[in-house]
Amino acid sequence: MRYLPELTESAQRENHKLFSERRTLYKQKGFDFAVSRAFILEKTGRLKGSILEVGSGSGDTAIALAKAGYELTAVDRDIVSLERSALNLACENLLSKVSLYKNWLAD
In a domain, 97, yes or no: yes
Residues 6+ apart with CB under 8 A from 56: 62, 74, 75, 76, 81, 82, 85, 100
User: Helix-strand-coil percent breakdown of the chain, rounded to 5?
Assistant: 50, 15, 35
pLDDT in tens, 33-80: 889 988 988 998 888 889 999 999 999 999 999 999 999 999 999 999
Q: How far apart are CA 2 and CA 106, in angstroms?
A: 17
Mean pLDDT confidence for 15-38: 92
On whether residue 90 sits in a domain, the answer given is yes
pLDDT digits (tens, 9 = 90+) for 78-99: 999 999 999 999 999 999 999 9
Q: What is the CATH number of the domain that holds 57?
A: 3.40.50.150
pLDDT for the residue numbered 87: 96
Domain that holds residue 67: 9-102
Contact at 8 Å (CB) between 57 and 81? yes
Q: What's the domain count of the chain?
A: 1
The answer to whether residue 65 is domain-embedded is: yes
Residue 71 lies in a domain: yes
